[in-house]
Amino acid sequence: MKMKLMVLGALASLAASPALARDVGGVACTTPQPARCSGESCVPALAELGNVVDAKTGRKFWLDYPCDLKPDEKVTFILNLHGAGSIGNWQRHYFPAADYVQKYRLVVATPTAATATPVRRWDGAADDAHLQNITDFVFDSFGKANIRSMWLAGHSQGGFTSRRIVCSDYFRGKVDGWLSLSGGRIGQAPFVKQFGPPKPDGSPPDPRPAGANPMAADTPPACDFSHIFEVGQWEIDALPETSPWAEKYGCTRRVRQKDIVDDKPGYVWDFSRAGYKVWGMKAAPGKGELFAYQGCKDGRVVADVVRENKGHTEGLEPRVTETLIQMIVAAPGGKAQTGG
């Protein structure tokens, strides 16, 4: 409670500062972004569901954007989806694009799924409608013509959800790219046999039954977008050396770029179940391997990032996060203006 009051007091102080500019969704913009935390101190703050309300459903979500945004300035919109058993503010710290809204002129919306049993997950028409409402809100608030590109980013089941909706009737004419954060690859990188959270005693989960691979179905999506896949080394058997998505766009070759080296950890991890390396340990500094496909048609971005010595739940390190965002903003956009 004391920490919550401190956070609220800090927000009140920011709300009175001259750094504020726009007011979107009835909430004044603040620099730095509200409710930021690190490590175990995040636990109370992560329960906060957002700073903006979806007027059609009453559900809260997080909205982060540059406070000094100029009229008619172009922005990149990222819809950032958490995985099963998680929550929006955890995702906001797991993939902390909010830290870079100022530098890269981003608008980042991070919602929370409605279905909470047996675990919270994106499931069904109500969640799909909520994501569409948020997208409409962002397009209306910042101007459709100012959305230079839109990306879906999703961790784990949020990544699978992103893939499910990216070519839907609503999103296919809006989404320019899909960032999968351990949430499936086009040209799959299969999970290891003992993938999943550890048992209550800390031992690894039982191996999956033969044929029970949640990434087995691999029919390529039937629309156009850039695709970046990020994963922890211990989650998958191996990263494929080819990509059907790269083949679709006539990319010439895959090149390993300079490694991404971080001397700082990510913000969060699975605080209650860390210890089984496949699932994830305590967040720590690290190194990421970056593989980028070259010469893709229409400038599409197709790339893979493998974070060494990481599992499924360690939050992304600062330089890994920034590298992903740099690729996102460098990719072609324009669907918002043309409708696909």
Give the model confidence (pLDDT) of 127-160 as tens digits. 999 999 999 999 999 999 999 999 999 999 999 9
Return the number of other C-beta atoms located less than 10 Å from residue 70's C-beta: 11
CATH number of the domain that 237 lies in? 3.40.50
Q: What is the mean pLDDT of residues 6-15?
A: 35
| 30 inside domain | yes
Residue 14 in this model has a pLDDT that exceeds 50: no
| 218 inside domain | no
Residue 293 in this model has a pLDDT that exceeds 60: yes
Q: What is the mean pLDDT of residues 82-96?
A: 96
Taking the C-alpha atoms of residue 122 and residue 239, their distance in angstroms, rounded to an integer, is: 26
Q: What are the CB-based long-range contacts (under 8 Å, 24+) for 245-250?
A: 245/186, 245/187, 245/220, 245/302, 246/293, 246/296, 246/302, 248/220, 249/296, 249/297, 249/298, 249/300, 249/302, 250/295, 250/296, 250/297
What pLDDT score does 53 carry?
Answer: 95
**With a threshold of 0.75, does the pTM exceed it?**
yes
Q: What is the mean pLDDT of residues 76-88?
A: 97
| 32 inside domain | yes
| 240 inside domain | yes
> Which positions ≥6 away from 315 have C-beta within 8 Å?
93, 94, 95, 96, 265, 266, 267, 268, 269, 283
- Mean pLDDT (the chain) is 90
Return the number of other C-beta atoms located less than 10 Å from residue 143's C-beta: 15
Of all residues in the chain, what percent carry a pLDDT higher than 90? 79
Q: What is the mean pLDDT of residues 245-255?
A: 97
Q: What is the mean pLDDT of residues 217-223?
A: 84
Residue 321 in this model has a pLDDT that exceeds 60: yes
Burial 145-162 (b: 16+ CB within 10 A, else e): ebbbbbbbbbbbbbbbbb
What pLDDT score does 329 carry?
Answer: 98
| 137 inside domain | yes
pLDDT digits (tens, 9 = 90+) for 186-209: 999 999 999 999 999 999 999 987
Residue 216 in this model has a pLDDT that exceeds 90: no
| 20 inside domain | no
As for how many domains the chain has, the answer is 1
Taking the C-alpha atoms of residue 160 and residue 28, their distance in angstroms, rounded to an integer, is: 33
Whole domain around residue 254: which residue ranges? 25-192+223-338
Residue 17 in this model has a pLDDT that exceeds 50: no
What pLDDT score does 337 carry?
Answer: 84
Tokens of 209: 């039954």
| 167 inside domain | yes
CB 22, CB 62: distance < 8 Å: no
